[in-house]
Structure 1
Amino acid sequence: MSEDTRARILRAAKELAEEQESVQGVTVSLESVSRRAGLTKQGLMYYYSSKENLMLGMVEHAAARWDGLLRDHTGAAPEALSVFERYRAYAAVATSAEVSRADYWVFSEALYHPKLGEPWHRFLSPWFAVDDVADESRSLLTAARFCADGAWMSEATGVFPAENLADVGVRAQELIDQAEAQGGYR
């Protein structure tokens, strides 16, 4: 039962973040989330004792969702894939328009609250590991990731979204192909 309640709370918080006119204007409070989830504030605080804990729960949920999208796309864990397969998956997922304003909001909150970056690092670092990649290939992979990052951020915020998101994904994939063709590994 508690997992259902936790999921309901996180869904309510995400809905509130999605409904905002602008990402900067997002107001998610314990009161607003508890009302949306059909709980008392004290009932919500049983699961998330503070706004910080609620935010950590939202970030954990969003980062796990991205990891799940990547695993679903590849059918594998990141450790079972080559660096190029991992980056191809990220570029494909990030440019598929399956983006969320709430995911962007909780992602950007890490700038102001570094503790909120930890779940993103934990879930996504395995997808971005480039330890054994040659420098030239590494910079191309980074450029491809930045291309994909920019695409999902533009789509999530609605600020200068791509006219053709699929083309952006193709260009990111071309950078990854170029990185692999250069030999890729040290």
Structure 2
Amino acid sequence: MRTSKRTQILEAAARVVEREGIKSVTFDSVAAEAGLTKGGLLYHFASREDLVRAIHQHLADRWESSLAAAAGKPASEATAAERLTAYTRVATQSATRAELLLMLEGATTVEHAAPWNAVTERWAPPPAAPTDDPVTLDRFIVRLAADGLWLYESLTAERLDPDLRQAIAERIAGTLGHDGD
């Protein structure tokens, strides 16, 4: 299937963020990376802010696609345990610098955080309130452990052996005990 121009632009913008950071995302830098004219970008994005919002959405959508692939189904068709297991398995993949920078930047802007938060809410939401339910607490601890694995590899120069990383992710996921809900 042929990639749309919009997707090509967003992938090029993600590469600019990966290499140079978010502040380097300009129409000129993204146009050069995508092999397009500045006018070609303006056709798809009216402003830099529209482009940045679209990058957030694009990468969050890509993350959700990985989660759905790991679960073998969309979040709406998966049980809570299946969603969290998929979330844990996707944590075996290190984040790209672009994903980290955009997630960090997004945490300071409600509009930028929305796509990331929506994915998290579908796949691994935190407990709604304090709870004495050990299953609910265990599930959230599993999510935190998966997030920790993801961040560990993303923020350190040390790379875990792929088999070890997979074994850790499976051990975290295995603590869930599939009770079918």
- TM-score w.r.t. length of structure 1: 0.79
Look up the match of 1:36: 33
Aligned-residue CA RMSD in angstroms? Answer: 2.7
Could you say which residue in structure 1 is the equivalent of 2:52? 55
Q: C-alpha deviations, 1:6-39, integer Å up to 9, x for none?
A: 111111111122224xx6x862222211111122
- Give the alignment of 1:105-124 within 5 angstroms: 105-124=101-120
1:155-174 equivalences under 5 Å are: 155-159=153-157, 161-162=159-160, 164-174=164-174
Mark the runs of 5 or more structure 2 residues left unpaired by the alignment.
Answer: none
Preserved contact between residue 89 and residue 169 of structure 2 (Cα < 8 Å): yes
5+ residue gaps, structure 1? none
Which of 58, 70, 75 lines up with 1:73 in the alignment? 70
- Partners of 1:51 and 1:136 in 2: CA distance: 46
- State the match for 1:175 in structure 2: 175
Measured in 2, the distance between the counterparts of 1:176 and 1:162 equals 23
Matched to 2:39, the amino acid is: Q
1:9 maps onto 2:6 in alignment: no
What is the rounded CA distance, in whole Å, between the counterparts of 1:82 and 1:128 in structure 2?
11
The residue number in structure 2 matching 1:147 is: 145
Shift of 1:57: 0.7
Q: Partners in 1 of 2:79 and 2:138 — Cα distance?
A: 15
Contact preservation (8 Å) 1:62, 1:103: yes
Residue by residue, what CA displacement relative to the aligned partner does 1:138-177 show, whole Å, maximum 9, x if unpaired? 2211111112112223333445554632233133214323
Judge conservation of contact 1:30–1:44 (CA < 8 Å) in 2.
yes
* CA shift for structure 1 position 69: 1.0
- What's the TM-score once normalised by structure 2's chain length? 0.81
TM-aligned CA deviation for residue 100 of structure 1: 2.1
Report the CA distance between 1:116 and its aligned residue. 0.6
In structure 1, how many angstroms separate the alpha carbons of the residues matched to 2:175 and 2:49? 38
